[in-house]
Amino acid sequence: MERKSSSINDLSLSINPATHLDDSSIAQHFYQLWLDNDISKDSIDDLWLERTLEFIAKARKELSFQAFMATIDRQVVGSVSCQLFAGLYPSPFKSSFRKYGYIWNVFVESSYRRQGIASQLTTTAIEYLRSLDCTHAILHASPHGKSVYQQLGFVPKNEMILQLE
């Protein structure tokens, strides 16, 4: 993917593909995302970092995982991760009919929010998934992110959840 640059309030924003050297930052953003969504630290497993890094490494090998880092003046201010969707069940469909990509971990540092960075990160992930010939992009939105994704054309669908505890 090509490097993207734009100006946010007179600051120079760049969005670049992440490498394996960025995996710890991506994992930290994933952790912070949960905290920002009111998940208590007590609810997060002590091995979250190791598990996240293992997941990323496996997804990179098997599911075309790619993350993108948003930087302003060489400071990382956000990231997004995306990959092919492995599915919840075997797919009977041809990939030309249904090949899902999954976007996760759209994160922007709190002091840089509401400036369009999350939209630009998500758009970059969408472009990457298009380059993989995905037919759909899926994500699970936090309450804070729903309006961002709806403005980009995401439509709520019929996922249903029953809490068992």
Residue 27 placed within a domain: yes
Residue 57 near residue 51, CB atoms below 8 Å: no
Q: What is the pTM of this model?
A: 0.89
Residue 69 placed within a domain: yes
CATH number for the domain harbouring residue 24: 3.40.630.30
Domain that holds residue 145: 4-151
Backbone phi, psi, residue 39, to 5°: -90, 130
Residue 132 placed within a domain: yes
Residue 95 placed within a domain: yes
Residue 156 placed within a domain: no
pLDDT of 74-130, one tens digit each? 999 999 999 999 888 988 999 899 999 999 999 999 999 999 999 999 999 999 999
Q: Which of 81, 73, 66 is nearest to 33 (CA)?
A: 81
CA 163 to chain centroid: 25
How many domains is the chain partitioned into structurally? 1
